Structure 1
Amino acid sequence: MNATPVELADQLARAARNLQAHTQQSALTGKRELPTPCADFDVHQLSEHLLGTLVMSGYAAAKEPVPADAPTTLTEAPWVAFPPLVDRLAKAWAEPAAWEGETPFASSTYPAPFAGMITIMELTVHGWDLATATGQTFTADDDVVATVAAVAGQIADGARARGAFGPEVEPAADATPLERLLAFTGRKVA
C-alpha cells in the first residue's frame, strides 16, 4: 500500500460520499428493521454504527478525543444526520496533519494513516452492507477497494477473533475486486 496522504484523503472523502449516496430518504424509508449482512445489525443499528464511525473518525483526524456529548444515536434520519458529518469528516482528513503521528481512535491510539484507512474500510464494507440490505447496487472505486483490502489483510486475524469479520468465503471465479474483498471479510455476495 503506497498511497500518499493526499490520495488516502481523497479515497476517504469518496468512500464517505459513496456511503452518503446510499442513505437517501428514498432508499431507507420503511427499511429501518431489515436485516443486514452484518448479523449483529439491522438497518437502523448499522446506520448508528456508521454514525459512530463518522463522528469518531472526524475527531481522530483532528487528534482530539471524542467528546462525551458527541452523538451516538440517530435522533434524525441518516439522510439528515450524515451529510454534515460527511462534510466535516472529509474536511478534517483533507488536512495534511491528520495523516501525521498518532491519533485517538476506537478507545486506543493508532498511527494516523491506519485510523484513516480503517475509516475507509468501515465506510466501504458497511456501505455495501447497508446498500445490500436496502436493495441498492453498491460499487467502489478500485483504489478504495485496494486500500480496504490492504488494511483488512492487516487486521483479519484480530477482526475474526472479535467477530468483526466472519470466516472467509470462497469468491466466485469471476469475482470483482470488491466481491473478493467482501468474501475475505466473510460476506456472501450473491
Structure 2
Amino acid sequence: MTLDTAAARAATLLAEVPDALLTAPTPCAGLSVAGLIEHFDTLALRLTATAGKRPRPDPSGTGLRSDWRGGVPARLKILAEAWADPAAWEGVTSLAGREVPAAFAGTHTLNELVLHGWDLARAVRLPYTADAADVTACIGLLESLPDEFRALGVFGAPVPVPPDAPGLDRLVALSGRDPSWTPPA
C-alpha cells in the first residue's frame, strides 16, 4: 500500500482552493477550509514522524501558515515518501500518544488523506475520486475500529447509506459524515 495517490490528490485540491473560500465550512463540524488545510499540514508533520517512529512534533495552534499553498503540498509529498519505506509499516509506532501497530498507523494515515481530501473537495465544490483499493483499505480500518475511537470524537456515528452505495460514500458514511453534504449556498 502506498500513500502517493491520496497525497497527490490532496495536493492538487489544495492548489485549487480559492482564497475567498478559506472561511467556508467543511463537512468536519466546526472546521473551516483554512482549519482543514491547517489540519492537513499538522497531520503531514505528525504522521511523517509516526512513519519514522520518531516523537511527533506539536505544531498545533500555529494557525494557517502563510506558505500553505506550497508548503502543505510539499509536506504531503514528504509524508507519502516516509510511508513508502517498507520499514514504516513494520513493528509498532506511536499514534496520538498510543503505541499501535505501524501498519494500523499507515492505514490511518491513508484514511486521513482520503477522507480529508473528500472534505476539502466538498467544501470548495470540486470533484473528488479516490482509488478503489485505498477506499477498501480505509473501509476495513473503520469497520475494525473499537468503539472507544468513536467515543473520543475521532469519528462520528456511522450515517446510514444503501448497501449498494459507492465505496467512497460508504467510507464517508462510516466516518460519521453525510455523503450528500454540500456547503451552504
Same fold (TM over 0.5): yes
Could you tell me how far 1:153 is from its partner in structure 2?
Answer: 1.1
Distance change in 2, residues 1:180/1:66 (3 Å): same
CA distance in structure 2 between the aligned counterparts of 1:99 and 1:55, rounded to whole angstroms: 17
Which of 3, 10, 13 in structure 2 is aligned with 1:19?
A: 10
* Aligned partner (choices 131, 141, 151) of residue 131 of structure 2: 141
Post-superposition Cα deviations, 1:5-64, rounded to whole Å, max 9, x if no partner, equal: xxx2x2x1211111111111x423211111111113111111111211111111111111
Separation (CA, whole Å) in 1 of partners of 2:92 and 2:158: 31
Aligned length: 180
- The counterpart of 2:30, out of the listed 36, 40, 52, is 40
Distance 1:14 1:44 in 2: 22
Q: What SS does structure 1 have at the residue aligned with 2:99?
A: strand
Q: 1:49 aligns with which of 25, 36, 39?
A: 39
RMSD: 2.0
Distance in 2 (CA, whole Å) between partners of 1:71 and 1:93 is 25
Check if 1:166 corresponds to 2:156.
Answer: yes
Q: CA deviation at 1:158?
A: 2.4
Provide closer, same or farther for how the CA distance between residues 152 and 109 of structure 1 changes in structure 2, counting only shifts above 3 A.
same
- The unaligned stretches of length 5 or more in structure 2 are 181-185
Q: CA–CA distance in 2 between the matches of 1:144 and 1:128?
A: 13
Q: How has the CA–CA distance of structure 1 residues 45 and 70 changed in structure 2, closer, same or farther, with 3 Å as cutoff?
A: closer
Matched, 1:62 2:49: no
Tell me the secondary structure at the aligned position of residue 40 of structure 1: coil
CA contact 1:156–1:165 (8 Å) conserved in 2 = no
Q: Does 1:184 align with 2:164?
A: no
- TM-score, normalized by length of structure 2? 0.88
Q: 1:97 to 1:47 in 2, by over 3 A?
A: same
| Secondary structure, aligned partner of 2:22 | coil
Query: What is the identity percentage for the equivalent residue pairs of Structure 1 and Structure 2?
Result: 37
Structure 2 letter corresponding to 1:178: L
Q: Which amino acid aligns with 2:7?
A: A
2:68 match: 78
**2:42–2:59 Cα contact (<8 Å) kept:** no
| Aligned-partner Cα distance in 1 for 2:153–2:57 | 27
Cα displacement (A) at 1:70? 8.8
In structure 2, relative to structure 1, the CA distance for the partners of 1:106 and 1:66 (3 Å cut) is same
Whichever residue aligns with residue 21 of structure 1, its letter is: T
In 2, the alpha carbon distance for the partners of 1:56 and 1:113 equals 16
The unaligned stretches of length 5 or more in structure 1 are: 1-7
SS in 2 for 1:145: helix
Structure 1 residues 71, 61: CA separation in 2 closer, same or farther (over 3 Å shift)? farther
